[in-house]
Amino acid sequence: MKKLRCDQTPAWAALQAHFEASGKNFDLRQAFAQDEQRFSRFSLTAPHVFADLSKNLIDTDSRALLLALAQQCGLAQQRDAMFAGELINHTEQRAVMHFLLRKPPLAQAERAQAAIKNEANLAPELAQVHATLDAMLAYAEQVRGDAAITDIVNIGIGGSDLGPQMAVLALDEFVTAGKRFHFVSNVDGDELAGVLKGLKADGTLFLIASKTFTTAETMANAHSAKAWFEAQGGRDIGRHFAGLTTNVAAAQAFGITTTFGFWDWVGGRYSLWSAIGLPIALAIGAAGYREFLAGAHAMDEHFRTADLADNLPVQLGLLDVWYRNFHGFSSRSIAPYSSALRRWPAYLQQLEMESNGKRVGSDGQPLPFETSPVLWGEPGTNGQHAYFQMLHQGTSVVPVEFVAVKQAAHAPHDLPGHHTKLLANALAQAQALMRGKDDAGGHRHFPGNRPSTFMLLERLTPASLGALIALQEHRVFVSGAIWGINSFDQWGVELGKVLARDIEPRLQSGDVSGLDGSTAGLLQRLR
C-alpha cells in the first residue's frame, strides 16, 4: 500500500480545520483558567525526564488529531523498522542503529526483549558493539590510571565533536581530577595553536575522532598535531594518539596503532555512544559511561514501548509538527538553565537541523510544507539579558524549550542561594512568556500567550544526560517520520566541501577563471 504523504492524510486536513476554527486563537491563560488539571493532563514522565507541556498551544482536540496524524503516517511502523535494523537511511542504503550501542548484552536483555521482531538478526552486531565497548572502556581505565597523561585533546568536528564536548562539560562534576579535556574542531589554526601552547607532548593524548577519517578540518588538525608532537620530541605515536573511526585502515595509514572502530549504521550526529564517546569515558570512567548508556537505553525502551499518547519523544515530535506546519513558527529557542549544559543548544542544532533540514521527501520530490525549524539559544540566565526581549515583545512567536535541573551540579559546594535564583528565573521566564502584561502605554505591554516546554531533571548525572539526549534523538525521528523525509543523510553539507577544494589552490595561484564575480572579487582581495 502506498504511504500517504502527511499533508494528504485526513488527519492533516482535520488539523488544518481545527487550527482555523480555534487553534490559531488558542489562549493559554484561558486554558489554565478553564482546566485545573491542565498541568497534569499535559505533563509526561519518561525515564529520568519530567516534561511539562502544559504551557504549549495545544488542547485535547489538537493532541488527539496529532495522534491520528501519527497513526495515518505509520509512525509506529517506521519506529519499529528502525529498531528492527531495516535500511531506513535509504539514500545511503544503511540501517540506523545507534540504539544498539546502548543496549545491554543480549544474555541480560533476552527475556525482556524477546518480543522485538527480528531481534535475533541484530545479535552479531550487538556482540561486536560489546566487544568494542569493553575494549574501549578498558583502554579508558588504563589512561585514567596513567598519571603521566594530563591532557586529552579531541580532534574532530560535527558529530565527532559536539556530542562528546557537550557531555564532558555537562558531566563536569563526575570528571576525574588530574585530567584536562580540550576539543579542537575548527580548521582555523588559531584553535589548535591555542590549545597546543599550554601542552607538553609527553603529557598529551590526542584522540583523532572521525567517522570517515577523511574530513578536511580533522585531517588538517590531526596532521598538524602529529607534526607538533614530533617537533616536541614525541616518539611514541601508539601511546599518544588514538583513532576513533569506522575507517580503521585510514587511521592506520596515518600512523595510528591504537584504534577503536564503529559501523556505518551509526550516523555522525548519533555517534557519541560509539568509540566517538571515548572522551566521555575518559572523563567519567567506565562505570559512568555504562550508566550514560543505560540512561539512553531506558529512553529507547520508553520510545519503543510506551503508548503514543504517553510517549514523550512522540508527543514532542508531534508538537514540533503542529508548530512548524500549522502555527508556522520557524524557530525554537533552547534554554538550558544550567551552565553545565552550555553546549546543549549547539549540540541540538546539528542533531535536528542536519537531520531534518530537508526539502524533499523520501521519494526525492520537493515537499510543499516546512520541515526543520531553526534551533538557537544560550544557557539561562545569560539569554535573558540578550535576546529574551525579542521572545517577550518581538513580532514573531518563538516556542522556548527550558531545561532545568533540580539539584545543582556541584551540590555539595553550592554557593548559597545561586541555584534557587537560577530555578526562580527559569520558572519566571516561562510564566512571563505565558502571562504577558497588559499596559496601555504600548512599550511596556507584553502580549503573553507565548508557548514553552519545561523539562526537568532531578540531577545532571550520566544516566539522566543519556536519557535526555536519547529523548531528543527520538523526537527528531518523530517529526522526520511524519514529514516523510530521510532524517539520516546529510547531502546538504557536500557542495561546500567540494567547492572549498576547488578554491583552496586558487587562493595560492590567483586563478579566478570560471568563478562568479563576487567569489572572484573576494578571492582577489583575500590573496
Label residue 210 left, alpha or beta by phi (over 0 means left) and psi (-120 to 50 means alpha): beta
Cis peptide before 381 (omega within 30 of 0): yes
What does the alpha-carbon distance between residue 2 and residue 188 come to, in Å, rounded to a whole number?
48
What residues have CB less than 8 Å from 57, skipping those under 6 apart? 23, 26, 28, 322, 323, 327, 449, 451
Supply the minimum distance, in Å, between the C-beta of residue 447 and ligand F6P: 39
Position 325 contacts ligand F6P (CB under 6 A): no
Supply the minimum distance, in Å, between the C-beta of residue 408 and ligand F6P: 32
Residue 349: count of CB within 10 angstroms of its CB? 19
Phi first, then psi, for residue 260 (nearest 5°) are -125, 125
Among the listed ranges 154-162, 330-338, 339-347, 410-418, the one in contact with ligand F6P (CB under 6 A) is 154-162
What does the alpha-carbon distance between residue 345 and residue 128 come to, in Å, rounded to a whole number?
32
Supply the minimum distance, in Å, between the C-beta of residue 466 and ligand F6P: 19
Residue among 160, 204, 349, 381 that touches ligand F6P (CB under 6 A): 160
- Report whether 151 contacts 182 (CB < 8 A): yes
Residue among 210, 356, 479, 486 that touches ligand F6P (CB under 6 A): 210
Residue pointed to by grid coordinates 545543582: 408
Length of the chain: 527
Position 279 contacts ligand F6P (CB under 6 A): no
Position 159 contacts ligand F6P (CB under 6 A): yes
- The conformation of residue 369, written as its DSSP 8-state character, comes to S
- CA Rg value for the chain: 24
- Report whether 440 contacts 61 (CB < 8 A): no
Among the listed ranges 60-68, 78-86, 126-134, 158-166, the one in contact with ligand F6P (CB under 6 A) is 158-166
- Report whether 483 contacts 476 (CB < 8 A): no
- The conformation of residue 366, written as its DSSP 8-state character, comes to B
Position 212 contacts ligand F6P (CB under 6 A): yes
Supply the minimum distance, in Å, between the C-beta of residue 213 and ligand F6P: 7
Helix (H) or strand (E) holding 455: strand 452-457
Position 98 contacts ligand F6P (CB under 6 A): no
Q: Which of residues 213-252 bind ligand F6P (CB under 6 A)?
A: 215, 218
One symbol per residue from 335 to 354: x for binding ligand F6P (CB under 6 A), - otherwise; what is it? -------------------x
Position 269 contacts ligand F6P (CB under 6 A): yes
Residue 311, C-alpha cell as written in the block: 510517549
Among the listed ranges 93-101, 156-164, 168-176, 282-290, the one in contact with ligand F6P (CB under 6 A) is 156-164
Among the listed ranges 151-159, 327-335, 444-452, 480-488, the one in contact with ligand F6P (CB under 6 A) is 151-159
- Report whether 451 contacts 322 (CB < 8 A): no
CA dihedral 100, 106, 112, 115 (to 10 degrees): 70
Position 493 contacts ligand F6P (CB under 6 A): yes
Residue 378, C-alpha cell as written in the block: 544560550
Catalytic site positions: 354, 385, 497
Count of chain residues binding ligand F6P (CB under 6 A): 14
Among the listed ranges 210-218, 325-333, 384-392, 466-474, the one in contact with ligand F6P (CB under 6 A) is 210-218
Residue among 268, 317, 451, 466 that touches ligand F6P (CB under 6 A): 268
Position 356 contacts ligand F6P (CB under 6 A): no
**Nearest 5°: CA angle at 525, between 524 and 527?**
65
Supply the minimum distance, in Å, between the C-beta of residue 212 and ligand F6P: 3
Supply the minimum distance, in Å, between the C-beta of residue 210 and ligand F6P: 3
Binding site for ligand F6P (CB under 6 A): 157-160, 210-212, 215, 218, 268-269, 354, 490, 493
